[in-house]
Structure 1
Amino acid sequence: MSNDDQDAIIIGSGHNSLVCALYLLRAGWSVRVLECASTPGGAVKTQELTEPGFKHDWAAMNVSNFKNSAFYADFGSALERQGAEFVTAENCFASVYDDGTWFGVGTDTAANVSRIAAFSERDAKTWQSLTDSFASRAAIIGGLMSSPMKWTALSGLGFKALRQQGLDGTFDLIRFMLSSPRDWLGRTFESEKIRAALAPWGMHVDYAPDVASGAIFPYLEAFGDQAGGLSLGKGGADTIIRAMVAEIEAQGGSVECDTEVTRIFHENGKAQAVETADGRRISANKAIIANVAPKALARLTDTTGNADYDSGLDTFRHAPGTVMIHLALSDLPDWRAGSELRNYAYVTIAPTLDAMALAYQQPLAGLLPTEPMIVVGQPTAIDPSRAPAGKHTLWLQVRMVPGEIKGDGAGQINATDWDTALAPFAERVLDIVERHAPGLRDRILGMRCVSPRDLEADNPNLVGGDQVCGSHHLSQNAIFRPVLGYSDGTTPIEGLYHTGAAVWPGASTGAGPGTLLGRMLT
Structure 2
Amino acid sequence: MAVDKVFDAIVVGAGHNGLAAAVELASRGWKVCVLEAKSTAGGAVNTQELTLPGFRHDVCAMNLSSFAGSPFYARHKDALARHGLAFVPAEHCFASVFRDQSWLGVSADLDTTVQRIRAVSEKDAHAWQAMLADFQIKAPHLFAVLGAPMPSWKLARSAWRSWRELGKEGVAELLQLLLATPRDFLDRHFESESLKAMMAAWGLHVDFAPDTAGGALFPYLESMANQAFGMVIGQGGADTIITAMTGLLQELGGQLQLDAPVCRIEQDKGHAKAVVLADGRRLQARKAIIANLNPQLVFGRLLDAQSVPAKYQKKVDEFRPGLGTMMLHLALDSLPDWTAGAELQRFAYVHLAPDLAMMSRVYAEAASGLLPAEPVLVVGQPTALDPGRAPQGSHVLWVQVRVLPARVCGDALGRIAAGDWSQIKQDYAQRVLDVLEAYAPGLRGKILASLVMSPQDLEQFNPSLIGGDNLSGSHHLDQNFFFRPVASYSRYNTPVKGLYLCGASTWPGAGTGAGSGFMLATMLAA
TM-score range, shorter chain: over 0.9
**Counterpart residue type for residue 143 of structure 1:** A
**Cα deviation 1:184-203 (Å, max 9, x = unaligned):** 01111111110000111111
2:254 corresponding residue in structure 1: 253
User: Residues of 2 paired with 1:254 and 1:206: CA distance?
Assistant: 35
- Kept after mapping to 1: 8 A contact 2:3/2:282: no
Out of 362, 365, 374, the residue aligned to residue 377 of structure 2 is 374
Alpha-carbon deviation of 1:29? 1.0
User: Residues of 1 paired with 2:159 and 2:247: CA distance?
Assistant: 40
- Kept after mapping to 2: 8 A contact 1:37/1:459: no
User: Residues of 2 paired with 1:47 and 1:169: CA distance?
Assistant: 45
**Cα deviation 1:462-509 (Å, max 9, x = unaligned):** 101100100111111111111111111111111111111111111110
Instruction: State the TM-score, normalized to the length of structure 2.
Output: 0.98
- Kept after mapping to 1: 8 A contact 2:144/2:155: no
1:118 alignment partner, SS class: helix
Alpha-carbon deviation of 1:351? 0.4
**Counterpart residue type for residue 425 of structure 1:** Y
Matched, 1:205 2:218: no
1:176 corresponding residue in structure 2: 177
- Kept after mapping to 1: 8 A contact 2:151/2:490: no
User: Residues of 2 paired with 1:207 and 1:179: CA distance?
Assistant: 11
**Counterpart residue type for residue 259 of structure 1:** A
Residues 431-446 of structure 1 mapped to structure 2, 5 A cutoff: 431-446=434-449
Out of 456, 459, 466, the residue aligned to residue 456 of structure 1 is 459
Out of 314, 323, 328, the residue aligned to residue 320 of structure 1 is 323
2:403 corresponding residue in structure 1: 400
**Counterpart residue type for residue 320 of structure 1:** L
User: Residues of 1 paired with 2:271 and 2:171: CA distance?
Assistant: 43
Matched, 1:135 2:136: yes
User: Residues of 1 paired with 2:364 and 2:207: CA distance?
Assistant: 11
1:145 corresponding residue in structure 2: 146
User: Residues of 1 paired with 2:166 and 2:250: CA distance?
Assistant: 46
- Kept after mapping to 2: 8 A contact 1:54/1:386: yes
Instruction: State the TM-score, normalized to the length of structure 1.
Output: 0.98
2:451 alignment partner, SS class: strand
- Kept after mapping to 2: 8 A contact 1:367/1:406: yes
- Kept after mapping to 2: 8 A contact 1:37/1:458: no
Matched, 1:57 2:58: yes
1:301 alignment partner, SS class: coil
Tell me how large the CA RMSD over aligned residues is.
Answer: 1.2
Matched, 1:465 2:458: no
2:24 corresponding residue in structure 1: 23
- Kept after mapping to 1: 8 A contact 2:4/2:281: no
1:281 corresponding residue in structure 2: 282
Matched, 1:81 2:68: no
1:352 corresponding residue in structure 2: 355
**Cα deviation 1:65-118 (Å, max 9, x = unaligned):** 001100000111111000011100010000000101000001111111111111
Matched, 1:301 2:297: no
User: Residues of 2 paired with 1:292 and 1:133: CA distance?
Assistant: 37
Alpha-carbon deviation of 1:307? 2.2
User: Residues of 1 paired with 2:160 and 2:269: CA distance?
Assistant: 42
User: Residues of 2 paired with 1:158 and 1:42: CA distance?
Assistant: 33
Out of 476, 479, 482, the residue aligned to residue 482 of structure 2 is 479
1:13 alignment partner, SS class: coil
User: Residues of 2 paired with 1:296 and 1:246: CA distance?
Assistant: 27
**Cα deviation 1:156-203 (Å, max 9, x = unaligned):** 222222222222222122112211111101111111110000111111
User: Residues of 1 paired with 2:182 and 2:216: CA distance?
Assistant: 4
User: Residues of 1 paired with 2:274 and 2:151: CA distance?
Assistant: 29
**Counterpart residue type for residue 93 of structure 2:** C
Matched, 1:126 2:154: no
1:494 alignment partner, SS class: coil
1:491 alignment partner, SS class: coil
1:371 alignment partner, SS class: coil
Ranges in structure 1 where 5+ consecutive residues have no aligned partner = none
**Counterpart residue type for residue 127 of structure 1:** W
1:413 corresponding residue in structure 2: 416
Ranges in structure 2 where 5+ consecutive residues have no aligned partner = none
- Kept after mapping to 2: 8 A contact 1:13/1:40: yes
User: Residues of 2 paired with 1:257 and 1:454: CA distance?
Assistant: 21
Moved more, 282-291 or 145-154: 145-154
- Kept after mapping to 2: 8 A contact 1:12/1:35: yes
Alpha-carbon deviation of 1:152? 2.5
Alpha-carbon deviation of 1:3? 5.0
User: Residues of 1 paired with 2:437 and 2:423: CA distance?
Assistant: 23
2:460 alignment partner, SS class: helix
User: Residues of 2 paired with 1:244 and 1:318: CA distance?
Assistant: 28
Moved more, 341-350 or 300-309: 300-309
Q: How many residues are matched? A: 522
**Counterpart residue type for residue 417 of structure 1:** D
User: Residues of 1 paired with 2:159 and 2:49: CA distance?
Assistant: 47
